[in-house]
Structure 1
Amino acid sequence: MTARFPTARPRRLRRTSALRRMVAETRVRPEDLILPVFVKEGIDEPRPVPSMPGVVQHTRESVRKAAEEAVDAGVGGLMLFGIPESKDDRGSAADDPEGVVQRALRDLSSDVGTDIVVMADLCLDEYTSHGHCGVLTPSGEVDNDATLERYASVAVAQAAAGVQVVGPSGMMDGQVGAIRTALDQAGHTDVAILAYAAKYASAFYGPFRDAAEGAPQFGDRAGYQQDPANIREALREVELDIAEGADMVMVKPGLAYLDVVAEVAREFTAPVAAYQVSGEYAMVEAAALQGWLERERVILETLLSHRRAGASQILTYWATEAARLLR
């Protein structure tokens, strides 16, 4: 009796690395990556973040060097987060023309602004003494509409300092519309908005709060960040942000929410970004330090998973290193 052998042999296209590259359905390019960077006021040298090995709080000068390295590696964008020396209940340093992010934006716009997209996070949690993303009512609740006025002012200050893209991350209702109106009225019609449209109340943010020194002093952010149980709510948030003028939208975190990334990418034509957040970064670094994972392979595989789900851009603390590996 003659054995029947398969006529369809998909393994033929997996035989060599060259064949696999040729038929790959998904690719990550260096220009797809955005590097989040922290710049801290009042320090003389970069300060390591203990819970994020390899990540530092930058000085004004060291962030310029990090930006040049990112450009040399082919990274597509930088997202600035600022840590001021002094904080108050309104987050006054956030829209100060001489604030830490505004100074860094002027530097980077001059240094690398034609070679990379210079972006800035737009929120108040790093700047407020209470650590929440907005202005508080006397009872301690975040006042949505009063916060919109602050966001509008911050957007105009960042635009005047040379930002190309603002990233409102506070999850306030109407934030994109308020920011778009303020930018347009101030003559900054070319500044784009990358809306943190579906930002979940996630346990993966812990190390970031060390890096940005923005942990809430009381309560939590579940009242304005999205419930991890919900996906239809994310689609509604994205739809609202696009209607209000968002040019790009973001899902945050990334890896635990790839189903949300995929659904948003299917439903909308605007570019979709995903944020590979601090907890994802810290877990891989910790496991690699123990020898439990092949670090570089895991980094590239996680980035590929974000692209495969539909993310056009990926914010990742590995952006510069990964761009070099990809090249």
Structure 2
Amino acid sequence: MFPETRLRRLRQRRLQPLLRETELRATDLVAPLFIDETICGEYPIGSMPGQSRIPPNGIASVARRLYDAGIRAVILFGIPGKKDFHASSAFDPEGVIQNAVRSIREAVPGMVIMTDVCACEYTDHGHCGIIIEERDGPDLDNDSSLALMAKIAVSHAEAGADIVAPSCMLDGQVIAIRAALDESGFEKTPILSYSTKFASALYGPFREAADSGYSYGDRTTYQMDPANAREAFRESELDAEEGADILMVKPAGLYLDILKEIRSLGLPVAGYQVSGEYAMIKAAAEKGWINEKQVVLESLTCIKRAGADLIITYFAEDACRWLHEKR
């Protein structure tokens, strides 16, 4: 006795491509790049096999290679030659990111250039903005840090960035940056807000990659508690109300429930497959415990299935190649 409905009828191999609900495309992917002012040649990142810091004079050729592979967007992170308390290198018109934006724009006019707007790579203490002494110890000062983020965002737009992406999880960061961009004549520059960014244990390799480890304390007073779903939704809801053009959930893989909920706000959503997710897949693949290609494509497809319009991933170039092979 079998039921009249047999779902396996539609799983015949020839039929599967016709009925696939979620299709991962190269244009869904954004490649993160680390530009390091202090090096002359590419510097491999030990905890992220296959990834490197790139010297300023090499960023144009890397961007061209990615574009030729099918990548249409990058997000830039900078390692400056000088760090200080006020993150002054972050908004320097001749800073590492500003110069990288100009180099990529000249070499690859069609590439969409996103820039991470934060201060952790530029401060000598490694936190994401201006630190003040409070009763419980040093902490990030929200409002003075907003002014800093606005200056950084405007400097990126002046250099030619297509999209600015504030990542420091400050209250009011979107409205402050929007006002500064508009006042400076950049009304058309979109804001991709790291609107729900968790205080995750999966950022360790990134801190090596971006030289952004903090010298004391932690970031739990401004990043999200992984246990809090309602608060996570509210964070993105507020950024949408402040005028964010794209919302982001970071990390992506462990927070697909949050990503799906935030999709309901009606804005485009990005998911960031972070350095720890990348490193775990790489490590298991190197041990021969998993098939790297299959796991990568499965993980990216699931992030898209949950609602991501864009996926920031260190696997972007490899995934493009594998998607092309499938065709």
What TM-score, normalized by structure 2, do the two folds share? 0.96
Tell me what 2:241 maps to: 243
Please name the residue that 2:19 is paired with.
23
The AA in structure 1 aligned to 2:112 is: V
User: Per-residue deviation at 1:156?
Assistant: 0.8
Which runs of no fewer than 5 residues in structure 2 stay unpaired?
none
Paired residue for 2:111? 116
The amino acid that maps onto 1:23 is L
Q: Contact 2:72–2:111 (CA<8 Å) still a contact in 1?
A: yes
Cα drift, residue 204 of structure 1: 0.4
Deviates more, 1:170-179 or 1:56-65: 56-65
Verify: 1:256 aligned to 2:254, yes or no.
yes
Shift, 1:183, TM fit: 0.3
Residue 276 of structure 1: aligned partner: 273
Distance 2:86 2:117 in 1: 14
Q: CA deviation at 1:186?
A: 0.3
- Percent identical pairs in the alignment equals 49
Query: What's the CA shift string for 1:12-57, capped at 9, x where partnerless?
Result: 22221x4211100001110000001100002110000000000000
Q: What's the CA shift string for 1:206-258, capped at 9, x where partnerless?
A: 00000000011000000100110111111111111111110000000000101
- Select the residue among 301, 304, 307 that pairs with 2:301: 304
4+ residue runs of structure 1 moved beyond 6 angstroms? none
Distance (Å, rounded) in 2 between the aligned partners of 1:228 and 1:304: 23
What pairs with 1:1-327 in structure 2 (closer than 5 Å)?
4-16=1-13, 18-113=14-109, 115-139=110-134, 140-265=138-263, 267-327=264-324
Contact 2:59 2:103 survives alignment (8 Å) = no
Shift of the alpha carbon at 1:112? 1.8
**CA RMSD for the aligned pairs?**
1.0
Q: Give the count of matched residue pairs.
A: 321
Amino acid at match of 2:129: G
Cα deviation for residue 6 of structure 1 reads 4.3
Determine the C-alpha separation between the residues in 2 that align with 1:303 and 1:64: 27
How far off is 1:198 after superposition?
A: 0.2
Paired residue type of 2:162: Q
In structure 1, how many angstroms separate the alpha carbons of the residues matched to 2:300 and 2:9?
26
State the TM-score, normalized to the length of structure 1.
0.96
Inter-partner Cα distance in structure 2 for 1:204 and 1:154: 26
